[in-house]
Amino acid sequence: MSVATAYFDQLFVDSDDPWAFRQRWYEQRKRALTLGLLTKPRYASIFEPGCANGELSAELAPRCARLLCCDTAAAAVSLAQTRLQGFAHAQVEQRRLPAQWPGGRFELIVLSEWCYYLDHDDLCLLVEQILAALTDDGQVLACHWRPAIDGCPQTAEQVHQVLHQRLGMSRLAQVADSDFLLDLWSRESASVAHLEGLR
């Protein structure tokens, strides 16, 4: 069974940054690597589900013309909205995925540290929704903490294996850090150098 919304609501009761996104070097380094893996300087549209308090969202916002973020926890949505106030093209909504998948098409979908909260069936449904929502040149970026988390139905390895098998897209880049897995899949298989005429 996927982790319930009440679990995430409780995390935000005592803290506006329950995972210490702002303070921990692990989080700062991971965000830098996540952004560094992207093959395009800007995207037409980005969707970031599970945005929490919006720390990664604020770094994705300058890289796109439209940013949609969502979270299942009401407190997280409010915090992310505040964090993104300076970006008129950014929108934050309260949604429970995969059941409340938004409409629209996205050039990049960012799955950062939340897919292991989904059970296998919900993750497979999520992949179907991703494939239907991606543009023809769309990309999926996923990053997940490798150690097992109490109460989570899946591990990072299981999540990334399902994503790789079911997306059926070219993997352009991969970081297998001792702490986390980071992968970028794309419907466009050409490398950055190739796209710029360097090979």
What is the residue range of 51's domain? 5-195
- The tens-digit pLDDT sequence of the chain (199 residues) is 888 888 777 877 888 877 778 889 999 999 999 999 999 999 999 999 999 999 999 999 999 999 999 999 999 999 999 999 999 999 999 999 999 999 999 999 999 999 999 999 999 999 999 999 999 999 999 999 999 888 889 999 999 999 999 999 999 999 999 999 999 999 987 777 776 776 6
Distances (CA, A) of 149 to 113, 114, 117, 138: 11, 11, 9, 30
- Total domains in the chain come to 1
Distances (CA, A) of 160 to 16, 27, 78, 151, 180: 28, 19, 29, 18, 11
pLDDT of residue 57: 98
**CB proximity list for 172: less than 8 A, separation 6 or greater:** 39, 139, 184, 185, 186, 189, 191
pLDDT of residue 11: 72
pLDDT of residue 199: 63
pLDDT of residue 198: 67
CATH of the domain at 67: 3.40.50.150
pTM: predicted TM-score of the whole model, two decimal places:
0.94
